[in-house]
Structure 1
Amino acid sequence: MKLNSVVNRDKEHKRIKDIADIYALLWFSGMPIAELKADLFRIYSMEKARETVRGFTRD
């Protein structure tokens, strides 16, 4: 799962690719954001998702 791999990447280019892949999967899914979030939180805790997103930095 991309959300699991992105936080553990040690190479910046791989991490950027994971983030881009997550964005593309969400953008082109054809599902409303609210539905995607609800589905995500059924399999991935809200706190873990927040922790993952907090790990995304410009650096």
Structure 2
Amino acid sequence: MVTKVNKLYRTHSVTFGADRDDRTLATIRINGADVGDMLISEVLARRWPSGEEFWC
């Protein structure tokens, strides 16, 4: 996965924002694809819980 991201690095965009608690959030896209979704599909990350799941 890291190699895949490195190959596509030059065609990326980063968008910053904040959540309701003023924590920084960022979305990284490579060739229009969300890197978070790429990591989740490779089972290298997981989605943030909806609030019903305990996170630790």
With the length of structure 1 as denominator, give the TM-score of the two structures: 0.28
With the length of structure 2 as denominator, give the TM-score of the two structures: 0.29
Per residue, is there more helix in 1 or in 2?
1
The structure whose RCO (Cα within 8 Å, separation 6+) is larger is 1
